């Protein structure tokens, strides 16, 4: 390994984050799982992307996190450098995407030697801890904002309807707002995945989420009873809810099957040590 060739001994740890298009952040506000922190971050000028990095000169290691929004749901993002020239040929690329079967984000390395053959291949330098993470906090924030707007409209209508009060509908609306506010704190107050209380926190988080769904559906029916519209509207709503419920149940079942299979595979897989003395560990985080 010659000191005259920096790319030959530079080691990378690579972390990529696929974010929702609804998330509007600067690099300084972005957070990663496992409390990963980088010394420098840059808001890149195009593609709504961000770059975080830390260079450890004594051991010639560069830790990089690339954050971007895929062009479409189920799409991919990539970050690459070309240590020898400019242009695509010769670039060393890391590509992150969601596995089509499991939905788990993965990272693959590509040594782009030509335009005619682009296949996964080891890079010209060692890359450790390739990690991909998918983040959908933007959907949660948007959903909460819509809920706050609905609650505000309800207060306005109530103030203009003196002497008319529907206690059940009102109380459920207040409960929904409180639970949604509690749920939004999950963005900021949650234990790490390896924390001993994370299992119990997951139970609480999912329970509150299911409670919001049930109460929201129930309150819409309360609204139907108050407004007394044509029967077709209530029937259409019921059909939509049943269809969405069936799809959600199916996806939830598939998710649990995947999780249980993954846990079973991990418990049966022997430890394979290190690969060529440089480490073969790859962490997948969601």
The pLDDT tens digits of the residues spanning 84-123 come to 777 777 777 878 877 777 777 777 777 777 777 676 767 6
Instruction: Report d(CA 45, CA 70) in Å as an integer.
Output: 16
Whether the pLDDT of residue 30 is over 80: the answer is no
User: Burial level of 147, CB count in 10 A (0-12/13-18/19+)?
Assistant: buried
Reduced to 3 DSSP states, what percent helix, strand and coil does the chain have, rounded to the nearest 5? Answer: 45, 20, 35
Mean pLDDT of 245-255: 88
pLDDT value at position 242? 92
pLDDT value at position 33? 65
pLDDT value at position 55? 75
pLDDT value at position 201? 83
- pLDDT greater at residue 90 or residue 213: 213
Q: Lowest mean pLDDT of 196-200, 223-227, 268-272, name the range.
A: 268-272
Whether the pLDDT of residue 243 is over 90: the answer is yes
Instruction: Report d(CA 34, CA 194) in Å as an integer.
Output: 8
Residue 86: φ, ψ to 5°: -105, 155
Whether the pLDDT of residue 262 is over 90: the answer is no
Whether the pLDDT of residue 14 is over 60: the answer is no
pTM higher than 0.75, yes or no? Answer: no
pLDDT value at position 16? 53
pLDDT value at position 133? 67
12-39 b/e (C-beta count within 10 Å ≥ 16 → b): bbbbbbbbbeebebebeebebbeebebe
Instruction: Report d(CA 200, CA 162) in Å as an integer.
Output: 44
pLDDT tens-digit series, residues 49-90: 788 888 777 666 777 788 877 777 677 777 777 777 777 777
In the structure encoding, which two tokens stand for residue 60, read together?
Answer: 């010639």
Whether the pLDDT of residue 281 is over 80: the answer is no
Q: How far apart are the first and last CA of the chain?
A: 36
Pairing of strands 40-43, 50-56: antiparallel
pLDDT tens-digit series, residues 161-198: 666 767 787 788 888 888 887 887 776 777 777 778 88
pLDDT value at position 143? 58
pLDDT tens-digit series, residues 118-147: 767 676 666 666 676 666 554 445 555 656
């Amino acid at each position: 390994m010659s000191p005259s060739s920096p790319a030959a001994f530079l080691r990378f740890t690579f972390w990529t984050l696929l974010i929702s298009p609804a998330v509007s952040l600067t690099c300084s506000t972005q957070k990663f799982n496992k409390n990963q922190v980088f010394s420098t971050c840059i808001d890149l000028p195009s593609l709504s992307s961000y770059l975080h990095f830390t260079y450890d000169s004594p051991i010639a290691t560069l830790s990089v996190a690339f954050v971007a929004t895929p062009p479409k749901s189920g799409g991919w993002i990539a970050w690459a450098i070309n240590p020898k020239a400019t242009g695509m040929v010769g670039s060393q690329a890391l590509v992150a995407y969601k596995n089509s079967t499991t939905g788990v984000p993965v990272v693959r390395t590509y040594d782009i030697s030509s335009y005619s053959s682009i296949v996964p291949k080891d890079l010209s330098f060692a890359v450790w801890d390739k990690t991909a993470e998918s983040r959908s906090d933007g959907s949660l924030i948007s959903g909460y904002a819509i809920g706050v707007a609905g609650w505000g409209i309800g207060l306005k209508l109530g103030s203009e309807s003196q002497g008319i009060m529907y206690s059940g509908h009102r109380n459920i609306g207040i409960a929904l707002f409180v639970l949604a506010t509690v749920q939004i704190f999950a963005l900021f107050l949650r234990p790490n995945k390896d924390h001993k209380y994370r299992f119990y926190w997951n139970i609480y988080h999912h329970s509150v989420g299911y409670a919001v769904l049930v109460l929201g559906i129930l309150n819409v029916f309360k609204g139907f009873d108050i407004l007394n519209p044509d029967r077709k509207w209530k029937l259409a709503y019921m059909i939509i809810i049943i269809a969405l419920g069936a799809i959600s149940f199916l996806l939830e079942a598939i998710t649990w099957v995947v999780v249980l299979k993954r846990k079973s595979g991990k418990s049966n897989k022997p430890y394979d040590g290190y690969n060529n003395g440089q480490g073969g560990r790859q962490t997948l985080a969601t």
